[in-house]
Amino acid sequence: MTDSNPERPAAQKPFRRLLLTGAAGNLGQQLRGALAAWADVVRVTDIAPLGDVADHEEASIVDLADEAAVHALLEGVDAVIHLGGISVEAPFEDLLEANIRGLYNLYSAAQKQGVKRIVYASSNHAVGFHPTTSVLDADAPLRPDSLYGVTKCFGESLSRYYFDRFGLETVCLRIGSSFEQPKNPRMLVTYLSFRDFIELVRCSLFTNRVGHAIVYGVSDNRTKWVDNTRAAFLGFRPQDSSIEFEHLFPVTAPTAELDDPTQHFQGGPFVLAGPMEPKR
């Protein structure tokens, strides 16, 4: 995983060049500062403006659906943190370009360029149609709660194929809700602090061998819908919890709306976000 070029002076940083896609997004902005300590050069990309570019960064605006541009983007890269693409429900045509075609372009280019590892931002919405009474591990059946969730299932399957066929390792991060603080009661369960997110990425990059791994991105919250035992070899130990935010959402007695799917399934509002198909 690290640079073994004998002509290169002894490095203080483990990686020569890391690629961060989706660098202008919520989590990309949180991660950029941390990556400076991990790599000599951090190549940052997005389709949105990237803001100020640090001395150690190489910045480029690239549409992941542009095959040639993506192949150029992967040149000289040791590992990839892939946060790019659409992160909410959207029309299928948009998801197709960003989350399916774009992801294929990324993996195809990574394999051809000899990249050894990708940290892939999957989502808890790949399994969002499991009920809130279930505790899920990495072997839980895929049950996407939206077309967005379907694209994340595709990403997990594509990354599995590239590991089995070419040995390209991937850690799939089924990220919950990573914001400054939870925005609703559901996020008290799915909350992932920025600090824990950065640590999760660090563990995913620095663990010696990962194969094809799935880990849930959540902090040490009081209520748990997921079990990361099968990914314990990554060494991820969340330090934060949504407990400090519980006062924002006072506990109430169960409501009479027992059939509300947003309350019944782990995906919350996403289970109703997809398009209604017209009847024939």
Residue 12 pLDDT class (50, 70, 90 cuts)? confident
Integer angstrom CA distances of residue 170 from 79, 150, 161: 10, 18, 10
Give the per-residue pLDDT at 251: 86
Give the per-residue pLDDT at 277: 59
Residue 6 pLDDT class (50, 70, 90 cuts)? very low
User: For the domain that residue 220 is a member of, what is the CATH number?
Assistant: 3.40.50.720
Report, as residue numbers or ranges, the catalytic residues: 148
- pLDDT above 50: residue 4: no
E-strand stretches of 136-230:
169-175, 212-217
Residue 105 domain flag: yes
Show the domain range for 65.
15-272
For 38-55, what is the mean pLDDT? 97
Residue 153 domain flag: yes
Residue 253 pLDDT class (50, 70, 90 cuts)? confident
Reported as a single tens digit per residue, the pLDDT across 193-235 is 999 999 999 999 999 999 999 999 999 999 999 999 999 999 9
Residue 1 domain flag: no
Measured between alpha carbons, how far is 261 from 270 in angstroms, rounded to an integer?
10
Phi, psi of 58 (to 5 degrees): -115, 120
Q: Which residue is it, tokens 């000289």? A: 76
Q: Are strands 39-46 and 212-217 parallel, antiparallel or unpaired?
A: unpaired
How many domains would you assign to the chain?
A: 1
For 163-192, what is the mean pLDDT? 98
Q: Which 3 state secondary structure label does DSSP give 37?
A: coil
Residue 247 domain flag: yes
- pLDDT above 50: residue 8: no
